[in-house]
Amino acid sequence: MIFLTKLVVNKAWAPSPKKSFKHFIDMSDSSSGKPHKSFSVFDFLWRVIAAIVLVLLTFNPSGYSYFHWFKEALSGEGAHALHYFLGVILLAGWAIFVVATSRSLGTLGSLLSAAVIGTGIWLLADIGIVQAGSATAVTWLSLVALAILLAVGLSWAHIWRRLSGQLEVDEVDD
């Protein structure tokens, strides 16, 4: 193991094109050779902010969202190239977040995370911190809960590494 570590640090080991990285993972940044920086609360908050922006740009109850803008265009003079272009960009963002969440958490993990987030919001409403008295308020809370779930899914491999010291690696068929 020490020999393998020295080979990696000295960059004497190079994987053959036929081998996958499921057998070996280099934890260093390829450009600088330094170890990856640790995952911090700020890294998670950036993911939460990105997820909230994605979710609320797609739909929100205020009426200022892609959904409302596109719906208005269809009922008026019709959708144009800009509508479709921005829709594809949003779709790409959703694909990144949903695929990352699905791969990192899986179905059971997603359900458990949604249950934790949902009961957490319920607890906050029960003790009076969050008001969920109207359909609009419940919609806002649901959208924020969805964004948090997506951010957890995008961050789960980093969170797991911090909690357990173990890496998560996707299986690659040879």
Question: pTM of this prediction?
Answer: 0.70
Q: What pLDDT, on the 0 to 100 scale, is given for residue 66? A: 96
Q: Please, is 148 exposed, middle or buried when counting C-beta atoms within 10 Å of its C-beta (0-12, 13-18, 19+)?
A: buried
Q: What is the tens place of the pLDDT at every residue in 86-121?
A: 999 999 999 999 999 999 999 999 999 999 999 998
Residue percentage of the chain with pLDDT more than 90:
55
Domain ranges of the chain: 44-164
Asked if residues 61 and 139 have their Cβ atoms less than 8 Å apart, the reply is yes
Q: How far is CA 88 from CA 7, 14, 149, 166, 170, in A?
A: 44, 38, 22, 36, 27
Q: Please, is 155 exposed, middle or buried when counting C-beta atoms within 10 Å of its C-beta (0-12, 13-18, 19+)?
A: buried
Q: Please, is 41 exposed, middle or buried when counting C-beta atoms within 10 Å of its C-beta (0-12, 13-18, 19+)?
A: exposed
